[in-house]
Amino acid sequence: MERNTGNGVSIDEQALRNALGEVAGDRLQTVKVAGETATVMLEVGGLERLDRDKLEMAVRDAARKAGVADLRFGMTAERKSRVIIAVGSGKGGVGKSTLSANLAVAMHRLGRKVGLVDADIYGPSQPRLLLTEGRKPEAEDSKIHPIQSPYGVPMLSMGHLVQPGQAIAWRGPMAGNALGQLIDAHWGDTEIIVVDLPPGTGDVQLTMLSKHKPAGAVIVSTPQDLALMDATRAIGLFEQGKVPVIGMVENMAGYICPHCGEESDPFGVGGAEAAAKTMGLPFLGRVPLDMAIRRESDAGNPPAAGDSPQAEAFLSIARGVLAWLDGKR
CATH code, residues 83-328:
3.40.50.300
- Give me the residue spans of the domains in the chain: 2-76, 83-328
Note the pLDDT of residue 169.
Answer: 61
CA 228 from centroid of its chain's CA atoms: 25
Note the pLDDT of residue 156.
Answer: 97
- CA–CA separation, 233 vs 277, rounded Å? 16
> What is the chain's alpha carbon radius of gyration, rounded to the nearest angstrom?
22
Note the pLDDT of residue 110.
Answer: 96
Note the pLDDT of residue 165.
Answer: 67
Note the pLDDT of residue 10.
Answer: 63
Of 3.10.620, 3.30.300, 3.30.2000, 2.60.120, the CATH number of 2-76 is 3.30.300
Note the pLDDT of residue 25.
Answer: 83
Helical packing angle, 49-65 and 13-24, nearest 10°: 150
Note the pLDDT of residue 170.
Answer: 62
Strand partners, 39: 32, 72
- Low-confidence stretches of the chain (pLDDT < 50) are 1-9
- CA–CA separation, 59 vs 19, rounded Å? 9
